[in-house]
Amino acid sequence: MGFEEDVARVMRWMYQRGLVQVRGGNASILDRARGEIVISPSGIPRPLVGPELVARILPDGTPVRGRPSSEWRMHAAIYRKQPRAVAVVHAHPRSVLALTLRGGHIDPGLMSEAGLQISCVGRVPYIRPGTWALAEAVADEAVRGCNAIIMERHGVAVWSEHSIYHALDILEALEDLAWISLHTG
């Protein structure tokens, strides 16, 4: 249950770090060997997500095991359009949302460490969560090479070509940049 444990662990860590609400956010890993997406479950409080609750779906959304996140379309679209992606994390980080609601932007070059993690920050206007329209808009930003994509009035999607832990690192770097921008601007 390697991939399932990784997804469960990242969901618990995101909740502990205040990056998602008790039932918010989601994470996934592309299991290329089996042609499946291993994705966090829908409706389970994040601190309680264990590997046995993590879902598996085919790229078209057909369930293999469990009940996947309602944002499965976004994960599937990123994997389909960005062949380098191996993991996707979606969260609702407070500082990123606060900064963007104030009209601010995030500059990865503000801190050297963040600049090494974040290739570019894409932005998508508000589109209803869980829809194919949102999934395709986010995936289009991933195709441009942006590994961090802000969804207006919603949250952030990040993807990694290395691991789900690297995706979490990108997310935390983005949140740190937003916090610093809010407190120094």
Domain ranges across the chain: 2-184
pLDDT digits 0-9 by tens, 135-167: 999 999 999 999 999 999 999 999 999 999 999
pLDDT given for residue 110 in this prediction: 87
Distance from C-alpha of 134 to C-alpha of 137, rounded to nearest angstrom: 5
Look at 114 and 127; give whichever has higher pLDDT.
Answer: 127
SS3 97: helix
Q: What are phi and psi of 87, to 5 degrees?
A: -150, 145
- Spatial strand order of the sheet with 36-39 comes to 63-65, 55-57, 36-39, 26-31, 87-91, 155-160, 148-151, 121-124
Percentage, residues of the chain above pLDDT 90: 95
The mean pLDDT value for 21-35 works out to: 97
Kindly report the CATH class assigned to 2-184: alpha beta
User: Strand locations in 72-176, DSSP E?
Assistant: 87-91, 121-124, 148-151, 155-160
Predicted structure pTM score: 0.96
With bands split at pLDDT 50, 70 and 90, how would you rate the model's confidence at 1?
Answer: low
Give the up-direction half-sphere exposure of residue 12: CA atoms within 13 A in the CB hemisphere: 13
